[in-house]
Structure 1
Amino acid sequence: MKIPLENRVSCHSYRASATTVAEQASTLEFVGRLEKGRMISKAPIEWIPFDIITLIFIEASKQDNLAPLAIEQVCATWRSHILRTPRAWSYIELDKKSNPGIMLKYLARSELSLIHIRIPRNSFQITDEISHHIFDHASRIHKLEMHASWYFGGGWRVNSLKLLHIVGRTTPHWLFGAFGWEESRLEYLKITPYAFSSSFRATIGHHFAHLQHLIVKEVIGDGNSWPMFVEECCSKLKSLGVVLTGLNHYNKRPLQFPALERLEIEMDGTYVNTVWPFDATTPMLRSYRLMQRRHNNLLVPVVFHTGTERVIHMQTDVPPQLEWYPSLQCLHLSSNTHMPDTVTLKAIHAAARRLCKGFEALYLDDHTGLIVKDGGTFLYCVDEEENESFEVSQGCTHEMPFESGLF
């Protein structure tokens, strides 16, 4: 579940959202038990209003795109209901478990609903016939996830496309050849751009003029492509995620992010160079995630020119300079190795309460499973008598919109 970033967001709202997710999971578990037991009795389902059944079936389809095929086999009543629920057939995944016949069935039964198509790398080959069938329904594609190794001749007119996730290195030939972008208003993009020369700068700015959420991954040896996407889309971005290799060198230049509310930077590999190309000005920033993998040369002064004063949530694997975050409410410390010792934790907690007005919670990841069974997240507290307490918790959300709400 995606939690909006607003001025009033607090840890209490995060916990309330976690409760809602738990309730939805309980509902899905109940549906699964009914399906598994082949409960043919008419009474239970006839007592439930059709619109409620529809919502349950749609939610089940989101969790497992093959759920409609199983639901229609439970009984005649369930089959009737699922066939009258086009949205339940709108989640199409072309992998080794499916086949073109199933895809055609979903395309037909989803009727006029917007569709979500996922084509992983290990799926079957996209033939001209399959591409043609998808082409006929391309204007209904709302979300699309596919691997860049599947090039299909393209020309899909994606007028309704809002979210695009391309796995693997994506070249301009693939991106601008696979789709017809003329009438699109893409809002979410997750991409590993590769070999984009400066001649594509205007094309990026034109086709992605409405982009609000961007996740980019750096490619070793290509220091031009991902910064170009950021620079051309920065004026409207609300969230930005960047995965860096650290093996490309950049000269710093200023860049304005007037609408950016969420920024995530993650290091993927050992790095020695100047790895961040921007002096970022982020007056609206509320959430900041920085995973440095135990390297400490990517601290706040390197990333920002201005714009950390209004951050209310931060997740990091290196204790931050708390004086940079006077409005911080939630601090989430993540470590891939071990939990900080008691003295360090108490010092961080005390500093946060002293320096950050409105500070509410310190969350820690328990990779060892000492606090949370099988590992997880807990809330760390210290009372006035310096006594520690540990409460199992979901913690502050840290996923980008792609990860939790859309893919």
Structure 2
Amino acid sequence: VGLPADCKLADGTCDLIPVKKADPTKKCFDAPTTTTLAPTTTLAPTTTLPSTTASRSATKRRCKARLNGESCNGAIVRNGTNETIIDANNATWTIFSNSTVFKDGLTAGPTANVIQLVYWNGTVYHENENHDWWQWINDTWISESDTQVLSYLNSSSGCTPTTISDLITSLETTTVETSSLSYISNKSSSNYFAPYSCNDSNYIGDFCNISMKPCDIDPCYDMSNCTNNSSQRLGYSCNCMSGFTGINCDVNIQPCKVNTCLQNGLCIEMNVTDFICNCSQGYMGIHCQDMISYCNRNVTCLNEGICRPILLDYKCECLYGSSGRHCENLAAGFVIRQYVAKSFSYIAIIGIVAVYLFVIILDTLKYIFGIDVARNERRELRHKRNLHKKKNLEEQQARKTHLVLRYID
């Protein structure tokens, strides 16, 4: 692959190769002194880079050509340099000596104290000395607030390869030796996709901010320790705290759980399986589920009141006409009605008792002492009944009609 012979460098040289200064479509940038390719790098389902190793440490700069003169994705221009950025519209961007941004030799909007320009995803960004980032959109500068974009801009250190052409250049080192990768340079870069490889293999993503380590997402519950372990099925293992088990320590096997003791009771573990509940005042039971009934402590509600237990106390539910702690107070009207009801009750009882005594006395005189107090009255009643019957019989005979039949010859 080697280096192009027409790459323009700021110092006028390009790895001892003549410079073609009239070609503005070339871009140079710093490169590491040594680069090593992995034995196999897959770029597409059917495209594989052969094993290659190229190295040389004498030169510290390399060249990078861009199609249509556009700068690479992630290109940086810092204040105090003569470097430029060429966007997709072939506009040239630079930082002037007074720390303002120029586009095609004219001031690009109101800017001041600019410290660097960054070209990323087809957009030009600038950062001022207050470390605020602005993007050029519709011929004006707009403050950048996207956290992902800001994360990339603050961590960017140069171009990132996004095509096969970029990948080949990024894999080049300062050597003029040919490589077995040369066949790729003849391919059209639009037919391939080369994902960006982060410096730290434990991270992925456009900004290298997505961790590949399972423990970074905290899969272990209840403050358990997570250990990355590739030999495990999930790639990690959890060292569970006492009382928890399961793959993610999400199974609670403690005898004392959140609602083991109710009503704010305190759960005390006796061993790994047993517990006791120290119940709050007014409750009892294995789980503090029962409220202590103060109605069972010789409490009497008067006037047919009903005792109802409440927390740490009791209450007498009184009937109509009564009131008080134990329903001992009665209304005046209710007292009068009670007295009247009692009076009628007493009168009825006295009458019943009097009749009962009268009958007993009569039976005693007749069957014990032989005194029949009602004998004359009974005799008189029988005589009156006999006279009445006799009178009725005579009247019936008087009303009878006699019929006389005579025979005449």
Normalised-by-shorter TM-score class: under 0.3
Q: Which one has a larger percent helix, Structure 1 or Structure 2?
A: 1
Which of 1 and 2 has greater Rg? 2
